[in-house]
Amino acid sequence: MNVDVLLGLQWGDEGKGKIVDVLTPKYDIISRFQGGPNAGHTLEFNNVKHILHTIPSGIFRENKINIIGNGVVIDPIIFKQEIDKLHDVGIDISKNLYISKKAHLILPTHRLLDAASEEKKGKTKIGSTLKGIGPTYKDKIGRDGLRVGDLIHNFDVKYNSRIDNHKVMLTEFFKYNYEETLNACEKDWFEGINVLKSFKIVDTEHMINEALIAGKSILAEGAQGTLLDIDFGSYPFVTSSNTICAGACTGLGIAPQKIGNVFGIFKAYCTRVGMGPFPTELNDDTGTKLRDAGNEYGSTTGRPRRCGWLDLVALKYSVMLDGVTELIMMKGDVLDDFDTIKICVGYEIDGEVVEHFPFELTDDVKPVYVELPGWKTDLTQIKDQNEFPEELNNYISFIEDEMNIPISIASVGPNRAQTIFLEKE
Ligand code: GDP
Ligand code: IMO
Ligand code: MG
């Protein structure tokens, strides 16, 4: 058996949580492979909305194993909040959730370092979610991290030594006043640790590879999006992990030849939260219309998302990096009320049109658009592909022809049921 991978092709928030939940019945195991509580994955069914940050989006389906892989960074405070919320809606995941011993812990001081670093950067800040992601991965790569497996042995000594180092950085380098906040959150942090310890903490790389040999099917759930990848995204305005498909190998401990289908998710337009370049961004009424229609406010931070037209230059780049085998188009319904819809097919840079994603996206990059007719139809009520308006079929075909990959699912609303599987002739 292989591991199928589902990941975002844009700047995050493409709708990964919804589709993982929709696809989960086809799999035995769902596992997150990178990122942490900077992610906010939304699922909607039975008129209730759930937002997950660390826990895989397969958790609402019965009898499925969910795994938090070694590539993920965990904040025990947020983890406990997620568990409590699930408990409130009657979901007990203690039997079905496994956590890698090698996943790294976000310490209370990592969050403070994130805030201090952003404050120091001022106008050049990344616009981080302030969840401590950058500092935690920095310590991981710098070989100073603390892992979930460390909880079992001599933890206090290791914890105190890391916290002491961080305090020196906060005081001497950042001149950051941390005492009050740190004291307030350390108690919650240790409560979270107690909850974390009550779960199954295992060598998930063995578990996953043994499951493959036993014929189990696995879906790997990405967080963030390809354009936020630490190596290939719009650096430095990126997150601190490999969000691309290769991240599933390192973040779960699976060999590259074990990767099966790669589901690449994109919105029928584009959004971005935080700072950084965004060639097709619309700072006008059309951008506001997209934000309102798509309810584009961050699931984790509540920040308004920047909105713009679909960018095929960026999408092709992502498809190349991820080896996408099937595309999934989200939020087509958000475009229901547009007379015409633009799609970016090239970038004009210094008077020349290029179709590859450049080293640096500056303000000089001008999108080259084609304009397609809108469908002016309420897609949210559609139950079958046969009911698609002709203009929507054209929009889908245009993207498929440009990308040379089929779109296998079109999502037409936030609800689980508003998902249309597309048949090809
Ligand atoms: P993720 O981070 O990729 O899981 O995406 P988010 O959950 O952060 O953001 C996607 C948002 O769009 C959520 O509020 C979803 O409920 C919503 N959503 C997902 N699919 C659709 C869709 O097809 N149409 C509409 N209108 N909303 C959708
Ligand atoms: P999901 O999984 C959208 C963005 C932040 C910021 C940059 C760095 O829900 O799609 P970080 O906190 O990682 O140091 O922030 O990355 N970012 C996301 N944007 N969706 C996400 O996750 C994101 N996770 C991080 O806004 O620009
Ligand atoms: Mg999100």
The answer to whether residues 278 and 344 touch, using CB atoms and an 8 Å cutoff, is no
What separation in angstroms does the CA of 296 have from each of 150, 352, 400?
39, 33, 25
Residue nearest to atom 20 of ligand 2 (CA): 12
Beta bridge partners of 419: 411
Ligand 1 contacts CB of residue 333 (under 6 A): yes
Q: What is the pLDDT of residue 87?
A: 95
Ligand 1 contacts CB of residue 162 (under 6 A): no
Which atom of ligand 1 is nearest to 20's Cα? 4
Ligand nearest to the CA of 38: 2
Q: What is the pLDDT of residue 364?
A: 83
Q: How close is the Cα of 273 to the center of ligand 1, in Å?
A: 14
Q: How close is the Cα of 154 to the center of ligand 3, in Å?
A: 36
Residue nearest to atom 16 of ligand 1 (CA): 414
Ligand 2 contacts CB of residue 111 (under 6 A): no
Ligand nearest to the CA of 265: 1
**Of 4, 21, 28, 41, catalytic:** 41
Q: What is the pLDDT along the chain (425 residues), one digit of tens a residue?
A: 899 999 999 999 999 999 999 999 999 999 999 999 999 999 999 999 999 999 999 999 999 999 999 999 999 999 999 999 999 999 989 899 999 999 999 999 999 999 999 999 999 999 999 999 999 999 999 999 999 999 988 899 999 999 999 999 999 999 999 988 899 899 999 999 999 999 999 999 999 999 999 999 999 999 999 999 999 999 999 999 999 999 999 999 999 999 999 999 999 999 999 999 999 999 999 999 999 999 999 877 888 999 999 999 999 999 999 999 999 999 999 999 999 999 999 999 999 999 899 998 887 899 999 999 999 999 999 999 999 999 999 999 999 999 999 999 999 999 999 999 998 76
Residue 6: CB atoms within 10 A of its CB come to 24
**Of 4, 13, 139, 333, catalytic:** 13
The answer to whether residues 11 and 271 touch, using CB atoms and an 8 Å cutoff, is yes
What distance in Å separates the CA atoms of residue 181 and residue 342, rounded to the nearest whole number? 46
Q: What is the pLDDT of residue 425?
A: 67
DSSP states along 280-320? TB--SHHHHHHHHHHT-B-TTT-PBPEEE-EEHHHHHHHHH
Return the SS3 of 284.
Answer: coil
The answer to whether residues 396 and 329 touch, using CB atoms and an 8 Å cutoff, is yes
Ligand 1 contacts CB of residue 264 (under 6 A): no
Packing angle, helices 179-197 and 108-121, rounded to 10: 140
Return the SS3 of 385.
Answer: helix
Which atom of ligand 2 is nearest to 225's Cα? 10
Would you call 13 a catalytic residue per the annotation? Answer: yes
Beta bridge partners of 281: 308
Residue of 11, 13, 379, 412 to mutate, ligand 1, most atoms within 8 A of C-beta: 13
H-state helical runs in 198-302: 204-213, 246-252, 285-294
Ligand 1 contacts CB of residue 274 (under 6 A): no
Residue of 10, 16, 18, 53 to mutate, ligand 1, most atoms within 8 A of C-beta: 18
Ligand nearest to the CA of 49: 1
Q: What is the pLDDT of residue 404?
A: 97
The answer to whether residues 109 and 176 touch, using CB atoms and an 8 Å cutoff, is no
Ligand 2 contacts CB of residue 133 (under 6 A): yes
Residue nearest to atom 6 of ligand 2 (CA): 128
Which atom of ligand 1 is nearest to 298's Cα? 8
In this structure, what are the phi and psi dihedrals at residue 409, rounded to the nearest 5 degrees?
Answer: -140, 140
Ligand 2 contacts CB of residue 12 (under 6 A): yes
